Each structure stands twice: as structure tokens, then as C-alpha cells.
Structure 1
Amino acid sequence: MQVYITEKPSVAKALADYFNKNGANFKKTPSSYLDSSQHGVITWAVGHLLYLNTPEQYNPELKSWNIATLPIVPTNFVFKKTVYANKKDRFKSIQQLIKDATTIIHVGDPDREGQYLVDELIEEANCTVKRMLLNALDDASIQSALETLQDNTAFKGLSKAAQLRSEIDWLLGMNLTRYFTLKARDGGYTTIMKVGRVKAPTLNLVAERYADYKNHVVTKYQVIRPLIVYEHGELELQPKPDTHFDLGMQADLKAKELTQQQVIIDTYEKKVISTPITELYSLDTLQIDCNKKLSISPKETLAIAQALYEKKLTSYPRSDCKYLPTSQFNAANGIIDSINQTKLLEIEIPHIIDTPLPYNDSKISAHHAIVPTGIIDAIDTLTDKEKAVYTLIIKKYASMFLPPYEYLEVSVDFHNQQNETFKATQKALVNYGYKRLYDPDMTDIKSPMLLDQNTIFIGEIGNTYTISQVNVVCRETKPPKLFTEGTLIKAMSSISTDNKELQTIIKEAKGIGTPATRATIIDELLAENLITHLEKSLIPTPSGLALLSVLPDRLKKADFTAQMEKRLTEIIAEPEKSRKLLEDTLTFIKIIMQDTSISMNNQDVLCPKCNTGYLHLKQFKKESKTYQYYRCNNDSCSMIFPAIKGNAHIVQCPSCHKGFMVSRMNKKTGDIFYACSNYSDTGCKKIMSEKEFLKY
């Protein structure tokens, strides 16, 4: 029996539809598409069905976190795997089909992760395995992939590289998270200090941007803007270089000096700038736009895109590609007809003959851009947010069929008698083009785009003009913008390093994380209280800054990922080097743990008694019940304060105004009450009931 194993249900369906159009008779069953007459079956995974075991699955004693047990390493680097609880039926079904297979066709996504995802399911297969590299689901792409099947053993190195990537991330995450969390607890933190190859540099991006923002000193300055008069108005000149004058008389003196001087044209250029749509949506660019235009988080955007995909309205969402295969152009006009039927766009999209720029076979990766399918049956079932995201996707797709946005640009260079140089630029609208999709009434056109083409400056080299006046303009420096979730996604995908060789590698890897995981990374950093929201922006928390203060630079930057990617590329060609990479990762972990200078001290809450130490949350168990309190870390003070819902509850004695109310227990009744801490020093006998204490 010939068994096709795809990475996702949509690919399995596309194959079944293709085969049925070409004489087969595949019928849907709960677990596959079956054609008994041809002894063929198509089944599918739903992402990874297996996960790497947790430490406690190797040894139950490792459930408790203890520095003495670190580093945790599976014996001989043999990582065990377990089937996800909610995917056991799917795994069992695939394994049964594998047992009966004479030939397996591996149809995982044509990338490193897609190779490994199916390979780990067919490890026990005892038959011929062929590899089908499928980039798109149109008939032409499927036919081409079927005609170029390869032996799956040729991709052994690719699969091994993906396996190693997951094992390296396991070693780093499991060990360093435990290590730094335990170190943080010693310093009074209660946060889980999640450390990972992608999380650390993402947290660092937020922290560095926040530091630049917070440390920015506003500087006011002045610039000068000479004006010359021409037939249709005034042309503003900008000095080259554009000197920033300190506040005072310098700018005014320079303005006075230039007034009535003559300037001569050195160069004059007039051209039409055409800006066609060259790219469509990948997941990260969709997330960026949804966050900016719709205030929808990257995580929610992914969930909505997945819902649109499952309703067959759009293509697969977890894509890092912004292009389409040329073979899909034949379907374009049909999709445009469907879009026009939805009435979601304010203008009608015309048919087109020429292939737009986003159709580019050379730039297709494991997936293609996120685009509408042309199936619109489920339009009426969409929520408001789903409809808003879907509209963004169809606008982007439709925009490539409209004329480019075009404007006329005039660029002029001048000099005066002192050989000081100036430049000037004017722009005039030629064709609003695809921008009418986003702004049908052209209300977003702002000056200088309001210039009429007939009033634009016309000049020739050698022409002389007189500076009629010079404006002095006051300005001030602006701090860098804090990251939003959307702009952080963009920063993760374009992260850089100072090392030129590693920069090339990280650029080829398209940053840190993947389109499918970046939103999750941000969400987890928020959930772990390592970053937080400041209105719509993101800033680090004290816990996040404390963690960064002790992390090695190599892990905080993109360098570690770049170095790993470089080594993984070598593994693809030489899988036998895989153990050395794991050993080097373990050595890196051990070196971090041997650093005796690593310590963190929670300074969130200053002790109000000694004003020297800081309050740290402590807890103890008694008769299976956990009790919490805050204790000053200054040993000469050691003041203890009650913890209410995890926070220090500090109440100064309302009677003596010197002591603080601390918890006590009535030995006879077991009831909690609160008494002044100055009882022994001043004899203050103020007490409060728990109800009264909580009012303060």
C-alpha cells in the first residue's frame, strides 16, 4: 500500500482532490483519504505529534527544582519523546498505516522542520520512503512535485539538523530556566526566569529600547530654511549639511547673512517615481499591520488567520514568504471575481493580463504568501475582527492588480557665492493607484503631495535665484519609539549582530524565532512578568532587567542563534558531527553555572523600617498549608511584614506612628490579629483585627 503522509490536513485534501481530478477515487475517512482500488491512502499530521520529555519524565525526583541536580542531561544525549495527549489517536492511526505500507511518500513542508516532523513518525518504517517537495497546493505545483520525487535518505542531514535544534533548545531552556530561577529566588524574586535561545534576545531588545527611550535627553535646536520665489510660489531650500544651531542668535545671524544672496542651480532632475506592490503578506507582516491598524495582538492575529484558513477563506497562515508561485497566476482573475462579490472593498478590482511582481518562483520558501483562496462561502460567519483581518488580506492581494502609486519628484541642487550648497525637493501626485483601496476619497494626501503638476518648480542648470527670506525653525530631538507587539515582531525578524559573518547567517535565517512562534514568545514573556505593557508599548519589568543583568552577552544577542544556525548547516552535510554540537552546548551551560558572581537582589520594595534593606517574599509550609510573608534582607533589621495576595501589606501603627503592624496569632483560638512592632521598645499596645488591618 502506498501511504502519503502530509504535515497538515489541507495538504492531504489538496492531494486527494488532485488525484480525483486525474482518475482516482479517494474518499474521506475519519483519519485519512482512502482509494482502495489503487491501494493508496493519504493521511496527515497536525503539526508535531511528539514532544521531548520533561526532566521529571526521565526521573520523578527532578520535578523538584534544585541547583544540585543541574545540568540535567539525558543519558548519552538520548532524548526520549512522548505523544501529545490530545494527538494520541492521530499518532496511532498513522502508525497503523505505516505498518501496512509498501511505499511511504513523505509530504512534510519542504524545510528543515517539515522534514523532521514526518521523519520522527516513520522511524520504524520498514519500506521504501520517497520525499515529495511541495511548495504550493495548485495542480501545477502538485504535478511538478510528483514528477520529481526523491529518495528520503537524501534529506537525512536536514532532518538531523532540525532534531538537534529542538534538543539544543531543550538543554538551554530546561537547565538555564531552572538555574536562573533558583538564583533569583535566593535574591527575593518569585518570578519564573524563563531563559531560551529566542526569549533572551527578545527580552533584551525590549530592555535596550526602553533604556534608550528613558535615557534620552531632549535637546532643542534650530535649523534654517531659505526660500526662493518662482513663478508658481516659493521653494524651500535645505542647507547641505543641515546644521543644527544651538538656541541663541547663531541661526538668526546666519539667516540674516543668507537673505538676498543669490543661489545657482547645479543639478535639476525631474522624474516619475512608481511604487508598485512588490510583496504580499507573510505572517509577521500581517501581524505588524494588524497590530498597527486594528490594535490586534500578534497572538490573536495568528489565531484569526488560522480561523480564516480553516474556513477556507485564506491560505496557510504560518508563512514567512511574501510571494506567490507563477503557476497560481491562472487562478488570479477568479479570486478577484470572488473578492468583488464580497463587496468588502469600496472599489471594483479589474481583471489583469500581465503577471504582477509578487508572483516570483525564485523567492518561494516552504510556503507562499497569505492570500485569499477565492472561496467565500463562510463570509457571513465571520466575527468583526475576523472580517477586519480578512479585509486587510484581500486588500493587499487586490492591490497588486491596481496601478502603482506614482508621483512626480523634482530634485534640485544649488550653491551660492561662498560655495555653500543647498537642496530642494518637490512632489506632485501623478496616480494614486492601489492606495485608493485604503483611501478611496484620497483624504490621506498631505502637503507637499497636494502640489499640482503644472505648478511644480521648473529650472535649468545655471539659473540664478535670490533668497527672498530665511525662516528659523525650532525643533527638538525625539526619543526612539518604544516597541509595540507588532514592531517587536518586526525587530525579531530583522535582528542584527555586529559580527559580519554571523549577520549574514542571521539574515538568511530571517531573524530569531519563526513566524509561528514569535507571537508566542512575546506572550510568554508577558505572562512570565519579564515584560509588561505601558499603554500599547512594551517595557521590561524589574524582574526582566534583573535577569538580563546576569545573562551572558552571547545569549542576549542574536549571536548564539547565528552560531547555532552555522553549525546546523554543517550538520546537514555531515550529520555525524551532531554529538559535538550537543557537547559544546552543554559546555556553554556548565560555564554559565560555574560563574560564582551571578546573583540577583530584588530591590522592588525598600524596607520602611531600616530604609536600607529590601523586602523579599518568603514562604513555609505547615500541615500542607503554605504561608507567605515578607522579610527585610538586611540581617541587622530582618523586619517581617504580612503578605496579602502575594504583596507586602505595610501598615504604620496609627497610634505611635513609629512601629508597623505585624501579624500575631492568638494561642488559644488560633485567630490572626495584628500588633504594633514597637511593643517591646515603646510599649505601644495597639492591635487590629484582620478585618481592620485590611482596610489600611
Structure 2
Amino acid sequence: MKLFIAEKPSMARELAKCLPQPQQKGRGCIKTGGGIVTWAYGHVLQQAEPQEYDLKYKRWNAADLPIIPQEWKLLVSPDSKEQFNLICTLIQEADTIVNAGDPDREGQLLIDEILDYVGNKKPVERILLNALDEKSIHESLADLRSNTEFVHLKESALARSRADWLIGMNLSRAYTLAARRQGHRVVFPIGRVKTPTLALVVRRQRELDDFQPVTYYIVKAVFDHPNGNITAQWQPRDTQAGLDAEGRCIDEASAQAILKKLSAQPEGHIAERRKSRKKEPQRLPLSLSSLQVLAGKKYGYSPQQVLDTAQQLYERKLTTYPRSDCEYLPLNQRKDVPHILGNLARIEAGQIAEWVGQADGSIKSRAWNDSKITAHHAIIPTTVACPFVKLTAMQQHVYYLIAQAYIAQFYPVHEYDQTRIIVTAAAEQFAAHGKTVIQMGWKELYRSDKTDDDEDIKGDLPVVRKGDGVHYQNGQVDKRATKPPPRFTASTLLAAMKEIYKYVKDDSLKKKLKEVQGIGTEATRATIINELIQRKFLVEEGKKKYLKPTDNAYLLIDALPDAMVYPDETAVWEERLYQMSAGKDNLQSFLHDQIAFLETLIAAAGTAAMQPAEGRTCPECGSLMLRRHGKYGDFYGCGNYPKCRHTEPAEMPVLEEKDKKYSCPRCKTGFFVKRSGPYGVFWICSSPSCHTKCADVGGVPSVYAVK
């Protein structure tokens, strides 16, 4: 008997339909003539918590860190026990097993970890379901591969999972305890990807808070040439007076002086003329991240909304696998081009049908590249006709973007001529740039987009030759101001996570990390951003839902070393995970280096300095006093416990004049008040900053009784 284990019930149902009949539904499985199909509910096995390795870890204690499992434990998810037991029974009965997890590293691990957990020794095959339409499933069934081909993909997912556990479990405890020692009642959810992502928003907000606009001036001059006018912009020399460090003219008088010079010496000539033909290839089809960014900018959807909608379209068989980090297509997909374009041509809403009418299915864009394909490919429409008018508005918008990017592959490249002219007049240089579209090509589909670069296209410049004379006609000085960096939204933050090389601290890493897939995975980036919002480290503001860090976000990021708040290290780890999936790195080496990195960060937590919380100060060691609940009620204990064991009562009375009998000789401001504690009667200074204690001797503080 052949057993197919799918990642989720929806995938299992579609897979079962394509297996030989008859079909019989059972408890937690579907029996067919081609085998039994069962399913998981995502990760039915989950990482054990620290206290499940040792009960002592239930109490957070800095002395126990780092917690490093010698043998990693997985536990069956409480919600999945019944289904897991069924899967185990079916594995025992099977002759051959097929891993039908999602076609990515998480999907590979999800099924493999079940097989490893039960100690399976039976042969395992792998099916890669990039789409759930019948045609795609039948093709995948005809191309089953050995599961051993994907062992590196599993190791990569396992390395990511264990690294996230090590960083999350240990550093969350280390820095939360550091914060509590300094009086802050907060839990810091530190993550290998989560924390550098939060730091991006914190740094951007500080840039905005500290931003001071700079006023600068641009000189534009119009020169007359026999073939037409040339509008050119002044190019100041480095030695020009009135420039700032960025080479901008910040002195209006200096800018106006240029126009006076031109009026006095209006004759000039063409010093340089360059014209070159440029070609811009078709934009690539969409990965999940590029779809989320595009939908966020065009429609204002959050990354999670886009992921959920793409998943719905996938489960309706209208689009391919949504959690794809790939923007390329396999060559064997070209046979489906006429069918897919034919379906799109029947969509009457929007411009899709009109675009298809001008598409050329024979055009082969750079997207068709087998060497760029791993377990999955870009998100595209399937061969199933789309009932567009029956979709929700959000589904229509997401499908529209996916179809638009697909159709663009069958338009010509975008071609234009770029011209640059340098004019010399009055001993100054002026530059003019022109851009003339020769062939609109694929950009025809994106002409109406507000963010499209085509809005900035300028007309062609007159035909000139080097040495031609020109005459200054008129000019103007435009006043400009520098703009602050844009605030992050969920969509643009996700784009930053994908293009993390732009934000690294070490410039030498930028080129190397440009090839990395960013930090996080296609499926987890939206979840990470949502968690930061839900945990109150980020808040959304205004109609556009700009992200703003909270006080706790500043507190955390300021306490952490650069290795955790800048993405350099995380991006390097992501690169290693990517190399591991290709068999160029290994799990043990990765985890060994991750543990060494972790130990360094835990050591830094011991000396982490945070903005002290307001409250009492310990008179013994100067640390902040923390309010605690004990056997006899609330009290204040030194935050430096166990090194300092000083304690004080939680509440001190407001004294009336008649009660101010015994002044404290230590602080000179407080007065001794009588208290009853678990060990008898004692006296304590009423000043919160002192709280000196002494014994009771006949109803008098001992300091006075001795006298």
C-alpha cells in the first residue's frame, strides 16, 4: 500500500481526486485505488520548551543560561494527537510513503520529522505540488522523486528551527532578566529575525525624529540652439563656494550669481553629447514577497492579508503555490502558455483581456530559467479558468497582479534612447538629460501605475554636435528642501527584510548579501511583523498604517549589542541556510557556530545597561528595588538579588507631625516608624530612598535606645 502524507487537508483532497478510483473517505484519511492519502495540520510535532528538558528551567534564572539541548526533543501537538496516531498507524501498514508536504524547506521538514520521529525505514518518495489543479497534480504524480534528494532541504529547515529556538529561548530570558534587574516589568521576545527587523523601524524612527531639512538651490538655464532649446541644470564644481558636504548649493546668493554671469557672458558651446540605446528586460513574475510589496503599495493590503488571499486562490486551483521565494519559471511550463493566456483572454473585468490580445506567446523572457528553480517556481495563474467576477475584491486584486506579471513575460523588452548633453557657458557647466521611448514593451501593462518610472520620462533633446554654439536665453533658481526618509509600513518593512543587504552596517557585506534571499522566509515575514505589533513593540498610525516603535522597542534595541540589532549576522546565517539547502554547508557546523555566537550574546546581557525605571533605590548597593509578592504580602526586594538581599516594606505611611518623634540619623530627612514583621517588631526609616532598619528596644528605635 502506498501512503501519501499531505501537509494539510485541502491539499490531500485535491491529491486524492487525481489518484485512481474508487475513492472512500475514512477517519483522517481518504482511501483510493492508488493508495491512501492522509494529512497533517501543519507542524503536528513541536519543539519542546526548556522546562520539558529539565523542570528547573521553568523558573527563569540567568545562571542556567545558555540552555542547549544535548538531544533535541519533539512533542506531539495537543491539538493533533488523534491525527498523529492515525498517521503512525498508516505508516506501519504502508509499503511505500510519499512526502506530499508543501514544495519548500518547511514543507519538507514537516513530513520528514514525522517519519524520523517514528523511526521509519520504508522507502519514501517526494511529490512537488506547485499547483493544485488536476493537470499539475497528474504531472507531479508522473514525476515522483526519491525523498533522499531533498535531505539538504530538510537539514536547512531543521537548522533554522533549532537556531530560532536557541536564540529565542535563551536571549529572551537573558535580556528580560536584565530588564527586570533594572526595574522594568516587561518580557522581551527576542528572535534571530524578529529583533533585527524591529531595529530597522527603531533606527528609521530616530532618523525621522532627528531629521533637519536642508534648503538648497538648483540653477536651471535655457540655451538656444539652431535645432531647438536646451534646458540644462548647473553642475557646481567641488571648489564652488556655498556648497554643503553633499555638493548641494545652500547659498542662494551663489546660485543667483550664476545667472548674472550667464547674462553677462551668454555665449556657450556643446562640450559633450552622448546618446545610448538602453533595454530593460521584462519584470520577473512574482514571489510571495514581491506580491506582498506590490499589493501593499497599490491597494494598501497588509502582508498577512496578501498571503491569506494568495492561499485562497491556490486552494481554489486558480494560482500556483503561494509561499514561493522564487521569481523564475521552469521551461516545461511553456507548454501551458497558450492555455493560460486563453483563459486570461476571457476575463472581461479590467484590462487583462486587452493585454492578452497584444501578447506574443512565443516571446521567451529571462524568467524561463531552469537553473533558478529549486522546489518551487514563481506564482502564476494555473490552467484553470478564473471566475473573476465571483471572487472577492481582495482576491480579484491579488489575482490581477499575478496575471499582470505573467502576461508581461510575453511583451517585448522596454527600449529607449538616453541622451546626455553638457553645455559650457560663462566658465560653468550645465547638464541636460533626455529619454525617448523607442518601444514601450512590457511597461505598457504598468503605464498607469503611479509609482512607475515612466512618469519621469522626458522628451528627446535637440540634435546637436560637440562644439556647436549655444546662446543663453533665460534661467531661474529653484528652491528645494531635502526630504526625510520614508516611514515604514508593514509592506515596505517586508520589502526591507527581503532586500536586507541595503541595511547592513558593514558595507563590505552588501555585495555578498545582495544574493541572499533576505532575512526570514516568505511564509514567516508577515507573521513576524504581526507579532511585533501584537506584542506592542510596534504600533500602526494613520490611514496608511505607518509603523512606529513603542518605548519597550527602544528599551530592547538600546540594550542589545550590534550583532543582534543590525542584520549583518542574521543575513550571514540566512546565507548559510541557503547554502545548506544546496548541500554546501551542514547542520552540525551551523549549530556549533550558532552556539558560540549565542554564548557571546548571553555574556553581553550580564552587563546590558538600560534606562532605569522609576522607583526606589536600594540603600545597600544602589540597584533599583523591585516590588514582589511574598509569604507575608507585597514587599520591595533589591533588583541585584541574590548578590544583595536587602528588602523593604511595600507601603510606608504618610506621617503627621505628632508621629515625627525619631528622625533618621542616616538620611536626615526621614523618621523612624514602628513595623511588625515575620520576625517581630522593628523600626524603619520612612524615606523611600533610605529605609534604614533598627531593632525595637522598649518601644524606642535602637539607635536612640543605645544613646
TM-score, reference length from structure 1: 0.76
CA distance in structure 2 between the aligned counterparts of 1:307 and 1:147, rounded to whole angstroms: 26
Matches within 5 A, 1:154-169: 155-169=150-164
Displacement of 1:447: 7.2
User: Which residue in 1 is equivalent to 2:561?
Assistant: 552
Which among 25, 29, 32 is matched to residue 29 of structure 1? 25
Displacement of 1:421: 3.8
Displacement of 1:53: 1.3
1:4 touches 1:41 (CA, 8 Å); kept in 2?
A: yes
2:328 touches 2:378 (CA, 8 Å); kept in 1?
A: yes
- Matched to 2:423, the amino acid is F
User: Which residue in 1 is equivalent to 2:610?
Assistant: 600
1:323 touches 1:369 (CA, 8 Å); kept in 2?
A: yes
Matches within 5 A, 1:135-534: 149-150=145-146, 152-153=147-148, 155-230=150-225, 234-240=229-235, 244-259=248-263, 260-270=265-275, 273-346=278-351, 348=354, 349-350=356-357, 352-357=360-365, 358-376=367-385, 379-402=388-411, 407-416=416-425, 418=427, 420-428=428-436, 434=442, 437=445, 449=457, 451=459, 456-496=461-501, 497=504, 503=510, 506-534=513-541
CA distance in structure 2 between the aligned counterparts of 1:302 and 1:344, rounded to whole angstroms: 23
2:131 touches 2:317 (CA, 8 Å); kept in 1?
A: no
CA distance in structure 2 between the aligned counterparts of 1:90 and 1:135, rounded to whole angstroms: 25
1:103 touches 1:127 (CA, 8 Å); kept in 2?
A: yes
User: Which residue in 1 is equivalent to 2:52?
Assistant: 57
Higher deviation after alignment, 221-230 or 560-569: 560-569
Paired residue secondary structure (1:65): coil
TM-score, reference length from structure 2: 0.75
CA distance in structure 2 between the aligned counterparts of 1:571 and 1:408, rounded to whole angstroms: 44
Paired residue secondary structure (1:122): helix
- Matched to 2:539, the amino acid is T
Identity across aligned pairs (percent)? 35
1:493 touches 1:510 (CA, 8 Å); kept in 2?
A: yes
Paired residue secondary structure (2:473): strand
Displacement of 1:416: 4.5
Pair 413,44 (structure 1): closer, same or farther in 2 beyond 3 Å? farther
Pair 416,537 (structure 1): closer, same or farther in 2 beyond 3 Å? same
CA distance in structure 2 between the aligned counterparts of 1:274 and 1:573, rounded to whole angstroms: 33
Gaps of at least 5 residues in structure 1 are: 608-612, 642-676, 678-696
Displacement of 1:202: 0.5
Displacement of 1:55: 2.4
RMSD: 4.2
Paired residue secondary structure (2:500): coil
- The CA deviation string for residues 71-109 of structure 1, in whole angstroms up to 9 with x for no partner, is 3333xx212112333434443333222212222333445
- Matched to 1:284, the amino acid is S
Pair 511,570 (structure 1): closer, same or farther in 2 beyond 3 Å? closer
Pair 327,267 (structure 1): closer, same or farther in 2 beyond 3 Å? farther
- Matched to 1:353, the amino acid is G
1:284 touches 1:490 (CA, 8 Å); kept in 2?
A: yes
Paired residue secondary structure (1:342): coil
Paired residue secondary structure (1:514): coil
Displacement of 1:195: 0.5
- The CA deviation string for residues 225-271 of structure 1, in whole angstroms up to 9 with x for no partner, is 22112467532112345752222421111222134443333443445
Number of residues paired by the alignment? 618
Displacement of 1:517: 0.6
Displacement of 1:115: 3.3
Higher deviation after alignment, 342-351 or 544-553: 342-351
1:186 touches 1:600 (CA, 8 Å); kept in 2?
A: no
Pair 49,79 (structure 1): closer, same or farther in 2 beyond 3 Å? same
2:127 touches 2:140 (CA, 8 Å); kept in 1?
A: no
Paired residue secondary structure (1:324): coil
CA distance in structure 1 between the aligned counterparts of 2:235 and 2:158, rounded to whole angstroms: 55
Gaps of at least 5 residues in structure 2 are: 238-246, 617-621, 640-645, 653-686, 688-707
Paired residue secondary structure (1:78): coil
- Are 2:74 and 1:81 aligned? yes
CA distance in structure 1 between the aligned counterparts of 2:513 and 2:76, rounded to whole angstroms: 32
Pair 66,477 (structure 1): closer, same or farther in 2 beyond 3 Å? same
1:52 touches 1:81 (CA, 8 Å); kept in 2?
A: yes
- Matched to 1:422, the amino acid is F
Displacement of 1:599: 3.5
Paired residue secondary structure (1:121): helix
Higher deviation after alignment, 294-303 or 126-135: 126-135
CA distance in structure 2 between the aligned counterparts of 1:568 and 1:440, rounded to whole angstroms: 39
Matches within 5 A, 1:561-572: 561-565=570-574
Paired residue secondary structure (1:82): strand
Displacement of 1:110: 5.5
CA distance in structure 2 between the aligned counterparts of 1:343 and 1:383, rounded to whole angstroms: 16
CA distance in structure 1 between the aligned counterparts of 2:205 and 2:431, rounded to whole angstroms: 35
